[in-house]
Chains A and B, each alone.
Chain A
Amino acid sequence: MPNAIALLKNDHTTVRTLLGQLDAAATPRDRERLANRIADALEEHSAVEEEIFYPAYRAAAGTREDDEIYFKSREEHEVVGQVVDDLLHSDPRGASFAGRARVLRHLVEEHASEEERSLFPRAEQLRGEQRLRELGDEIERRKQSAGQEQQARPQGRRQEPPLRPRGEARDRGGECARSGSRFAIPFCGSIICRW
């Protein structure tokens, strides 16, 4: 049975490699292909962490510091998810794509190293070898069933239109774009910006 932490570290290595390849990719086609692979890998990895590994860590967590590590990791997934969405909706020939790819690489690097530095060692302390192997087993089963599902409906996710405009909406100008908000609503002489 594999240890959960070894599996998660493996995921980190895979994504790091893909992000390195993305940075060096020469053609828009390669960039698009790599961005899709990265999105899939990150989605699968975040899902097993959030649904299996983090809850097990949190259940054993005792200190305030443990809680903070837990919340920070979850929040980082959120931020990474946002950049991935933006990346998938950018033209791989454009400068936006390149900039977003760079930002994503940095974020993932930071998140993965921090996890390897603080959350994983702490999880090892809190959960013994036996429990980590059980969790590893659970992670593998979950990945297998997710893989089968994905084969059943290929490319399903990316055919869907974006839920809400991101990024580009901020280029509309006006007070709201200036202050970092996404939409402007004029309201009796004032401007209300919506996040």
Chain B
Amino acid sequence: MNAAGLLERDHVRIRRILRDLDETRGPDERARLFDLAEDALLVHSAIEEDLFYPEVRAAAASEEGDEVYIKSREEHKLVDVVMPPLRLIDVRSAVFAAKSRLVRQLVEHHIGEEEKYMLPLAREVLSEQRLNAIGARMRRSADRLHGKVILAAQSRAFDCDRDGCRIVGPGFMLLSGLGC
């Protein structure tokens, strides 16, 4: 599986989930879509940042490559700011609707930029064979991560008022089962 192709396929899925999350009003459906969105985004950004971006940057070895790399990572970080508190917010509230719309916009912009700059660059600087090898690693990594990213959201301290919730204490995310 070609790495760039794999990411494009992921993008289609993520766009669909976030669009549905934004447009659906039913609380149960929203909660279900949120779980899907969280899992999809965490896994997708993890395999990109770990396995894809560094390869493209190293192979490009140019100012353009550096800039595309940094911009992509910065855009992931924005989603990291908005996404985590959503888990503790009532899916029926206006705060939830506003934040999930913002996540959708941020992600759509990021995906658009990536497909315009990062993926063409990757196809230019990496051979077909190399892209296939990276794609295979990304796929294995994604299979390992999907569904295993459990959020221990309850351990997070939140300060909630009528305007919504803000994180005031540490938040934790558990990767893989506790080995004890």
User: Is A72 among interface residues, defined by CB-CB distance under 8 A?
Assistant: yes
CB distance from A191 to the nearest CB of B (A): 5
Known: A64-B94, A83-B74, A180-B76. A190 touches B178 (CB 8 A): yes
Docked-complex contact B82 and A189, CB < 8 angstroms: no
| 19 additional contacts (CB under 8 A) given A79-B106, A82-B77, A179-B145 | A67-B94, A69-B98, A70-B98, A71-B94, A71-B95, A75-B102, A76-B102, A83-B74, A103-B74, A106-B109, A177-B50, A178-B50, A179-B46, A180-B76, A188-B178, A190-B177, A192-B173, A192-B175, A195-B84
User: Is A93 among interface residues, defined by CB-CB distance under 8 A?
Assistant: no
Query: Which residues on A sit within 8 Å (CB–CB) of B179?
Result: 188-190
User: Is A160 among interface residues, defined by CB-CB distance under 8 A?
Assistant: no
Interface 0/1 of B144-177, CB less than 8 Å to A: 0100010010001000000110010011111111
**Chain A residues numbered 95-140 whose CB sits less than 8 Å from any CB in chain B:** 95-96, 98-100, 102-103, 106-107, 110
A107 to B174, CA, bound (A): 31
CB distance from A156 to the nearest CB of B (A): 25
| Chain B interface, >50% SS class | helix
13 contacts between A and B (CB under 8 A): A64-B97, A71-B163, A71-B164, A76-B102, A95-B67, A95-B69, A99-B74, A110-B109, A167-B77, A178-B50, A179-B149, A187-B178, A190-B176
Known: A86-B74, A102-B71, A178-B46. A71 touches B172 (CB 8 A): no
User: Is A149 among interface residues, defined by CB-CB distance under 8 A?
Assistant: no
**Chain A residues numbered 139-195 whose CB sits less than 8 Å from any CB in chain B:** 167, 170, 175-181, 185, 187-195
Query: Which residues on A sit within 8 Å (CB–CB) of B74?
Result: 83, 86, 99-100, 103
A180 to B50, CA, bound (A): 10
- The listed residue (B98, B145, B178) touching A189 by CB distance below 8 A is B178
Size of B's binding interface in residues, CB under 8 A: 49
Docked-complex contact A179 and B171, CB < 8 angstroms: no
Interface 0/1 of B99-140, CB less than 8 Å to A: 101100110010000000000000000000000000000000
Q: Interface residues, chain A, CB within 8 Å of chain B?
A: 64, 67-72, 74-76, 78-79, 82-83, 86, 95-96, 98-100, 102-103, 106-107, 110, 167, 170, 175-181, 185, 187-195
- The listed residue (B63, B95, B101, B172) touching A194 by CB distance below 8 A is B172
CB distance from A166 to the nearest CB of B (A): 8
Docked-complex contact A175 and B172, CB < 8 angstroms: no
User: Is B33 among interface residues, defined by CB-CB distance under 8 A?
Assistant: no
User: Is B78 among interface residues, defined by CB-CB distance under 8 A?
Assistant: yes
Docked-complex contact B70 and A195, CB < 8 angstroms: no
